[in-house]
Structure 1
Amino acid sequence: MARTWSVLVVDDDFRVAGIHADIVAAAPGFRVQGSVRTIAEAREALATDRPDLMLVDVYLPDGDGIELVRGAGVDAFILSAADEADTVRRALHAGVLGYLVKPFPRQTLSERLDRYARFRHVLAGRRGLRQEKIDQALSILHGQTPGAVVVSRSATEQLLLDALGEGELSAAEAAGRAGVSRATAQRRLATMAGQGVVQVRLRYGTSGRPEHLYSKQA
């Protein structure tokens, strides 16, 4: 079963917070854990149930959102009207994974959430990570175009095999977990199936069109 990522929205403007929460709720694989207006409320929420990701404004009634991120130990995006270079650098030093200057189109945040989910899928698990997998995750997070980080054929196939280690997956599911395009996943999985590296079976849905499911060869 695919992972659902929980998000805490931290913004003192309830209208803006509501817009951000709506975008999160509409994003596949995400849910809104809560929406709070102050640092004190955010810390209380963190103590009760830590989210996977926070969306945090810089200027909050009782303090600085960047300092909240610095001490929270939780993945975070800064969503703020603050566009000063010093503020952006300070946020990056605090460990934020993204910085969006308000106002921004809804699609922009939706795309960042999609990248975050794919980034987390690539970095899932407790095993050691090869350099190409780390590079792939960072490439996804920063929205680099395909080829900006060069991943060899064998490395790409290994990313897909790692994804299949979690169980039987469709090409689309394997692509999301490996952080590659669906077309690339389909092509590489078909090649590995022909080589006997992975096995494939057909699952018939209500539409009558079969879906290919891939798994590691025993």
Structure 2
Amino acid sequence: MNPQNLQSVRVLLVEDDLRVARVNRDLLERDPDVHVVGSASTCQQGDALALALKPDLILLDVHLPDGSGLGLLRHWRTNGMTNDVALITAADDEPSIRLALAQGAFDYLIKPFTAARLSELLARHRARRAAANTRHSEARLDQASLDRLLGVTPAPTEPLPRGIDPHTLERVVAALTEAGAALSAEDVGERVGLSRVTAWRYLEHLVRTGLAVLEHQYGQAGRPAKLYRATGAEAQPPLADAPEV
């Protein structure tokens, strides 16, 4: 990894469907700092290229002609390979997902996925690398450093204003984050179990503290609708719009 350019990402694709591999390469390389340095269609090829190229990020399929990508991931981890690995696969069964995460995959995309979700994967990888680069490899970590490495968003440390309950605030933040899209106060209230006015008060607090952004939806009769979006969804600009893969 070049310490002078933490945005640069060298990617290895392990995908047996050549059409899908080409589409994924095109999506990835729309980001000028992402470079697909190799592509493999079998476990054997993927293992050899991972050892030879030492990519920053490996995007791995589960179903491969000569075995399972999950077995390949286990082999890498057993042998001390710590590259970031994310699964991109049609395997949507819970055992496969749990096994991949237990074996150290940092993300899991189920086909078909969107360009925006792939962009989010890249953003998380970059954040993990940036956090790792701020420490020495043998240094001990405090909780704040570990949270940055894991991608955990810290809770606000300033005292909350009167009428804002910290547990309710966490639920509102979770509702916005999980939605992945802008929501109205009424939408958030229904998800969290609050009145529209109470949800609006919490959302306005999140906007003031920078944890959410306010958008206006025009085109309808009357005043424009107020929509709220978690700021984490905008941390990295999405890749250009593209059809689902």
TM-score band, normalised by shorter chain: 0.5 to 0.7
Counterpart of 1:150 in structure 2 is 155
Q: 1:152 to 1:120 in 2, by over 3 A?
A: farther
In 2: Cα distance, 1:69 partner to 1:151 partner = 36
**Does 1:107 pair with 2:111?**
no
Higher Cα Rg, which structure: 2
**Match 2:140 to one of 125, 128, 148:** 128
Counterpart of 1:15 in structure 2 is 19
Tell whether the 8 Å contact from 1:8 to 1:34 is kept in structure 2 after alignment.
yes
Q: 1:116 to 1:28 in 2, by over 3 A?
A: farther
**Structure 1 unaligned regions, length at least 5:** 141-147, 154-182, 185-218
The count of aligned residue pairs is: 148
Structure 1 outlier segments of 4+, above 3 Å: none
Aligned-pair identity in percent equals: 34
3-state DSSP of counterpart to 2:38:
strand
**Does 1:96 pair with 2:100?**
no
- 1:118 to partner: Cα distance: 1.5
In 1: Cα distance, 2:36 partner to 2:148 partner = 27
**Structure 2 unaligned regions, length at least 5:** 159-208, 211-245
Counterpart of 1:117 in structure 2 is 126
**Match 1:33 to one of 31, 34, 37:** 37
Counterpart of 1:78 in structure 2 is 87
- 1:107-126 per-position Cα deviation (integer Å, ceiling 9, x unaligned): 11111101210121012141
Tell whether the 8 Å contact from 1:67 to 1:94 is kept in structure 2 after alignment.
no
Letter of the aligned partner of 2:38 in structure 1? G
**Match 1:47 to one of 51, 57, 64:** 51
- 1:136 to partner: Cα distance: 2.4
More strand by share: 1
TM-score (norm 2): 0.56
Larger RCO (CA within 8 A; separation ≥ 6): 2
Counterpart of 1:63 in structure 2 is 67
Letter of the aligned partner of 1:130 in structure 2? D
Q: CA RMSD in A?
A: 2.1
Letter of the aligned partner of 1:75 in structure 2? D
**Match 1:2 to one of 2, 5, 13:** 5
Letter of the aligned partner of 1:84 in structure 2? D
What pairs with 1:126-205 in structure 2 (closer than 5 Å)?
Answer: 126=136, 127-139=139-151, 148-150=153-155, 152=157
In 2: Cα distance, 1:150 partner to 1:114 partner = 20
Tell whether the 8 Å contact from 1:123 to 1:134 is kept in structure 2 after alignment.
no
